[in-house]
Amino acid sequence: DQQVKQNSPSLSVQEGRISILNCDYTNSMFDYFLWYKKYPAEGPTFLISISSIKDKNEDGRFTVFLNKSAKHLSLHIVPSQPGDSAVYFCAASARIQGAQKLVFGQGTRLTINP
């Protein structure tokens, strides 16, 4: 049962344009959401996060939007740069049965074309 879903396995965007990566979740107990970026042969690196009490968090070129009623979040990257080409994982966090659970989506491979 996939509690966090990234329905687009890949996305291709022109350099300078906006990249929008989407993520849906099913468990209403999730109260904190994170985006990680992963290059080949490296570990995921933390990018940006948002608490469930907010609907937007911005950090430079990266903005995360949260729509709790729709159980949907998105990551916007603008303007997109070639170095943004990577796999992006959405993750959701909740305290379930006394333990913190960090559940990941399947990832979206973003390619920025020059």
Partner 1 sequence: NAGVMQNPRHLVRRRGQEARLRCSPMKGHSHVYWYRQLPEEGLKFMVYLQKENIIDESGMPKERFSAEFPKEGPSILRIQQVVRGDSAAYFCASSFSGATNTEAFFGQGTRLTVV
Binding site for partner 1 (CB under 8 A): 6, 31-32, 34, 36, 41-46, 49, 51, 89, 93-95, 97-107
Query: Long-range CB contacts (< 8 A, 24+ apart) of 47-50?
Result: 47/75, 47/88, 48/75
In angstroms, what is the minimal distance from the CB of 22 to partner 1?
15
In angstroms, what is the minimal distance from the CB of 43 to partner 1?
4
Shorter beta-carbon distance to partner 1: residue 14 or 51: 51
Shorter beta-carbon distance to partner 1: residue 3 or 18: 3
DSSP H or E run through 62:
strand 62-67
Angle at CA of residue 29, ends 92 and 87, nearest 5°: 10
